[in-house]
Structure 1
Amino acid sequence: MLKANIKIKNFVLGLVLICLFPAASINAQVVVDEVIAVIGKHIVLKSDLDNSYQQYRAQQGLHGSEQSVKCEIMEGLMLSKLLLHHGELDSVEVSDNQVSQSMDMRMAYFIQQFGSEKAMEEYYGKPLDVIREEMSEMVKEQMIADGKQREVVADIAITPSEVQDYFKNLPKDSIPQINSKYEIAQIVRTPVISQEVKDEVYNRMNSFRERILKGESFETLAILYSEDPGSAKKGGETGMTKRGTWDPNFEVAAFNLKEGEISEIVESQFGYHILKYVGRRGDYVNVKHILLMVKPSYEDIAKAHTFLDSIGNLIRNDSIEFDLAVRRFSDDPGRINGGYVINPNTGNSQFREEELDPAIGFTVKKLKVDEVSAPVAFKNKDRKDAYRLLIIKKKTLPHKANLNEDYDQIQDWALEEKRQRAMQIWAKEKITKTYIRVNPDYVSCKYNSPWITK
C-alpha cells in the first residue's frame, strides 16, 4: 500500500510528460474527447486521463484496479490544475528561457525514445518545430504548477524521531522490498580541444559577425547556422530572461548591449556567441544570439579514450589504486570526494537499482565489486563529450527495508508522506476558494481532498 500510493501520487504530479508523450509501444486510441473537470479557468480532458492511465500501466504494471488507479490519477490531474490556477494568481515566475531549456531536455528525451527526429515527426504527423511549439505552453503551465507545489512544501522537514515513528507504524506486510543498492565511482577524462579546432570555430563566427555588420540579416544567419535549438528557429531570440540565469560571460555581454548593437564574439561554456540587443526591463533582458559549439575532433576524443584505457590497465595490474588515480587523473569536480557518482534524487552516493542511469546501469551490472570498466563514452554535466572509467565500490543484496541499512530511503518515504499531508491541507483550503466542476462520471471516486461539494 505504501509504495503504490506514493508511486501513483508522484506519478500524477509529473503528468505533462505523459500527456505529451504517449509511449511509442502503445497505439493511441481515437476517442471523442470531453471535459471531465474544470478547475478555475483550466480544464482536465478525458484524453489526459486515458493517456496517463495507459502510461502508468505501461510503467508500473497491473497494480490496483482500473477504477482505483484512474481515480488517483484524476485527483492528481485536478491537483495539478489547482496548483497552476493559484500559481498564476500568486504570480509564480517562469521565464521563456527556463521553458526553452526544459523543452531542450524534453525534446532530446523524446527523440531518444523514438529513435530519431523523423520517427517522432511521423508518429505525431507534424514537423518537430510545430510539436515543440504546441508542447511549450503546456510545459510552462506544468512548471508554474511545480513552482507552486515547491512553495507549499518548502518548509516541510522531518526529524529522526518522526522517521522512526513512521517506520514503526508501517504494517509488517507493507514494508517494501529494497532492490540492490550501488555506490559507484568514476574517473573522468574530457577531451582537450585543440587550439586549431577552437580557431576554426572562432574564425567562422567572426565571418558571420562581419557579414551582419555589412548588412546581412542576423535572424536569417541564426536560423540557418545557430546550434542553440531553443532559439535558432526564432531568429536567435531568447525571450526576456532574468539576471543570474545564463552563463556568466554570456550574461555580462547581454546586459552590456545597447540598442542596435552587435556584440563582440563571446566565449561561454557552450561555445562562441554573437549577440544582438532586443530589449531590457530592469533585471530582465532579451537578446538574439548565434551559437557555434566548440566540439572535440576525432583525434581529441581518441586521445581521451587511449589515456583512460591506459589508466584502467594500471589499476587492474595493481600499479596504482583507483582512489589515487581519481585524485591524479580525473578532471571531474567530484574527484575531491573520491570520484563518487552522486544520486541527483538524494544528494548522496547510493543508487537503488531502478535509479541508475541506463548508460551507467548497462555497464556496472556486468561488473563485480572493485572491478574497473573499460572507458565508456558519455555526456558530462555540461553536455560535453567525455569518457569515464566506472567501478562498483559497494553493492548490497535485495532485502526488506530496515532502519539500519535504509534510513535515507525510509526518511524519504516519511518526508514524502508528510508533504502529501501538507498538500492535502493546502488543497482543502484552496478548493473552497476556487470554482470547481467535476463530471458526474467521476464523483464517486474516493478522493483525499473535498473536490465534490454536496
Structure 2
Amino acid sequence: MRKIGLAILSLILIISAARAQQKKRTLDKIAGVVGSNIILQSDIELKYATYVAQGMPPNEAAKCQILQQLVTQKLLAAQAVIDSIDVKDDEVDNSVDRRMREMIQRAGGQDRLEQFLGRSVIQYKDEVRPDIKESLIAQKMQQKITANVNTTPQDVKKFFDGIPKDSLPTFNKEVEIGEIVFSPKLNNSEKEAYKNKCEELRKRVLAGEDFGKLARLYSQDPGSAPQGGDLGFADRSAYVKDFTAWAFKLKAGEISPVFESEIGFHFLQVIERRGEQVHVRHILIIPAVTEDALNRAKAKADSIYNLLQTNKKINFSEAAAFYSDNKDTKYNGGMMLNAENVEARSTYIPTDKLDPQVALVVDTMKVGSISKPFLFTGQDGKKGYKILYLKSTTNAHRANLEQDYPKIKEYANNQKINLTVSEWFEKKRKETFIRIDPQYQGCPMLKGWSTPATAEIKTEDTKPAEVKH
C-alpha cells in the first residue's frame, strides 16, 4: 500500500507540474526527430506519467529509456508503412482498454485516476491511442524482421561452448508435477439465495436505479466493480461462453436476464457494439462454497485416488483429462507449466517457485508416486482438493546440454533474435536522419544515435506545439 501511495503522490506531483506549465502557457519542445517524424517532450512526459501511474518508482532516468523506445518505435513504424504492415482498430481498442483497466485498478477507481491525470478517461484514451497503435505496428514489424530466425542444434552447441565454464548458470532443483483438481460444486438449492440476490438487483435497475452505483456497491467482480461494472470493449474471446452469448446477442441499451456462468450469477447491459467488439457492464454475484460442497469434492477426490491405485488400465494423464476441474492443466495431461516460461510450455518448475501448499506435499513424494488428496486454497481464495503426480526430479546443477537443452536453446534463440534486431537497427539508424535534443544526449543508451552535424537538417524553425494537457 505504501508503494502505491508513493506512486500516486508522485503522479499527482507530475500532473501538478504539468498544470503549472499549462497556466504559464509554456510551449512544448522537440525532444527528438526520426526522419520526418518528431517526438515532443509532451510525448515523453505523458509516457512517464503512465509509467508512474502503473506503480513504477519515480525515476527521471526512465525518460532516457522512454525516448529510446520512441525512437526505435518510429524507426520500426516507418518501415512498417513501406512493408504495408498495419493493425486493426479492434486490436488497438483492446490494448487501450486493457491499459486503462490496469491504471484504474492501481489508482483505486476511475474518479481518482481522472483526478490524477487532470482529464477524463475518454480524453486520455484519445491521447494515448495513436501511440499505442504505433507501438503495436512496431511490434509486428519486429516480428517480421525476426520471422526467419532459426536456431539449429549446431547453433545451440556453439552458443553453449562459447560460455566460459566458470560463467555457466546454475539451475535450481526442478520438478515435473501433474495435478487433478476437484473444485466444490453447489447444488441448485445451495445456489438459490445467490441467484435471487442477483434477480433483486436486476429488478432495481429495471425500476430506474443507477446500474453503475449498484455495481460499485454489490458486484463481486473486483476488476470492474470500482468502474460501475464497466468492462470496456472486448471481443468474443475475452469472456466465458455464457457471458459471450448474451453480450453479443443483445442490442445497445438492452439488459440480459440473470444467467449463470462458471464464475457465478450475472446480468449485463450492452452499452455499444462496434463490429466484432462489444462494450458491456455487468453485476456479478459469486456463491459462497458450503461445507457440504467441499465434502462432496473430497469424496470424489478420494474415489479417483482409489481408482488410480487399483485400476492400472487408467493412467494419471487420462484421469486428469477426464476428471480435473482445472482447464489450464487438464488438457495437458494434468502437467503444471512453469509460470515464468509459459510461452515455451516448460513443465520443469524450480522448487522455489512452487506454490508452498504444493511444495509441502511434493517434498514427501518419490518420483512416479501419486499423492493422497489434500485440501488447498487457490489464489482466488477458493478451496478445493488436489491429487499430485511427481513425474521427475532434477537436482540443482551447473548447466549442461544433456539435461538443459530446451533452456539453452531458448537462450541461444533469444541471442539470435536480439542480434538480428540490433543489426537491423544499426543499418536503419545509419540510413535515417535522427536528432536528439541536447537534454538527452547524455543518456548512455542514446550515445551516438544523433546523425552527425554535417548531415543535420534545420529544425530550429519548426514551430513548437502547445503543451497538451
- TM tier relative to shorter chain: 0.5 to 0.7
SS in 1 for 2:44: strand
- Post-superposition shift, 1:405? 1.0
The within-5 A match list for 1:6-405 is 40-41=39-40, 42-43=43-44, 77-82=66-71, 94=91, 127=108, 145=135, 148-149=138-139, 151-153=141-143, 155-160=147-152, 161-305=154-298, 308=301, 324=315, 327-328=318-319, 329-333=323-327, 334-335=329-330, 337-343=332-338, 344-353=342-351, 356-359=353-356, 362-363=359-360, 366-370=363-367, 372=371, 374-379=374-379, 385-405=383-403
RMSD between aligned residues: 4.9
- Post-superposition shift, 1:81? 3.6
CA separation in 1, counterparts of 2:266 and 2:189?
18
Residue identity over aligned pairs, in percent, reads: 26
- Post-superposition shift, 1:175? 2.5
Equivalent in 397, 409, 421 of residue 423 of structure 1: 421
- Post-superposition shift, 1:388? 2.0
Match of 2:22 in 1: none
Distance change in 2, residues 1:407/1:367 (3 Å): same
CA separation in 2, counterparts of 1:198 and 1:298?
13
SS in 1 for 2:229: coil
CA separation in 2, counterparts of 1:22 and 1:209?
35
SS in 1 for 2:239: coil
**Greater mean alpha carbon deviation, residues 209-218 or residues 126-135:** 126-135
CA separation in 2, counterparts of 1:452 and 1:274?
56
CA separation in 2, counterparts of 1:246 and 1:46?
30
SS in 1 for 2:267: strand
SS in 2 for 1:40: strand
The TM-score, its normalising length taken from structure 2, stands at 0.65
Report the AA paired with residue 437 of structure 1: I
Match of 2:410 in 1: 412
Aligned residue pairs: how many? 393
CA separation in 1, counterparts of 2:419 and 2:65?
14
Residue deviations 1:153-180, cap 9 Å, x none?
Answer: 3625423232223223333333322222
Q: Is the 8 A contact 1:180 1:398 kept in 2?
A: yes
SS in 2 for 1:389: strand
Distance change in 2, residues 1:217/1:450 (3 Å): same
Residue deviations 1:6-43, cap 9 Å, x none?
Answer: xxxxxxxxxxxxxx96899xxx9xx99999x7682432
Report the AA paired with residue 43 of structure 1: I
- Post-superposition shift, 1:407? 0.8
Report the AA paired with residue 158 of structure 1: N
Match of 1:443 in 2: 442
SS in 1 for 2:444: coil
Match of 2:465 in 1: none
The TM-score, its normalising length taken from structure 1, stands at 0.67
Q: Is the 8 A contact 1:323 1:338 kept in 2?
A: no
SS in 2 for 1:229: coil
Q: Is the 8 A contact 2:173 2:393 kept in 1?
A: yes
Report the AA paired with residue 324 of structure 2: S
Unaligned stretches of 5+ in structure 2?
A: 19-28, 33-37, 453-469
Residue deviations 1:388-415, cap 9 Å, x none?
Answer: 2334322212222222111100111011
SS in 1 for 2:230: coil
Report the AA paired with residue 273 of structure 1: H
CA separation in 2, counterparts of 1:22 and 1:436?
36
Structure whose alpha-carbon radius of gyration is higher: 2
Distance change in 2, residues 1:163/1:236 (3 Å): same
Q: Is the 8 A contact 1:443 1:452 kept in 2?
A: no
Distance change in 2, residues 1:46/1:190 (3 Å): closer
Residue deviations 1:258-286, cap 9 Å, x none?
Answer: 24322222333322222223222222222
CA separation in 1, counterparts of 2:325 and 2:307?
17
Q: Is the 8 A contact 1:311 1:325 kept in 2?
A: no
Distance change in 2, residues 1:172/1:194 (3 Å): same
CA separation in 2, counterparts of 1:397 and 1:192?
39
Match of 1:65 in 2: none
Q: Is the 8 A contact 1:185 1:392 kept in 2?
A: yes
Report the AA paired with residue 236 of structure 1: G
Q: Is the 8 A contact 1:96 1:239 kept in 2?
A: no
Residue deviations 1:263-319, cap 9 Å, x none?
Answer: 22233332222222322222222222222234422432344356547867x699x66
Distance change in 2, residues 1:263/1:127 (3 Å): closer
Q: Is the 8 A contact 1:364 1:392 kept in 2?
A: no
Match of 1:123 in 2: none
CA separation in 1, counterparts of 2:68 and 2:168?
28
Distance change in 2, residues 1:436/1:359 (3 Å): farther
CA separation in 1, counterparts of 2:423 and 2:358?
39
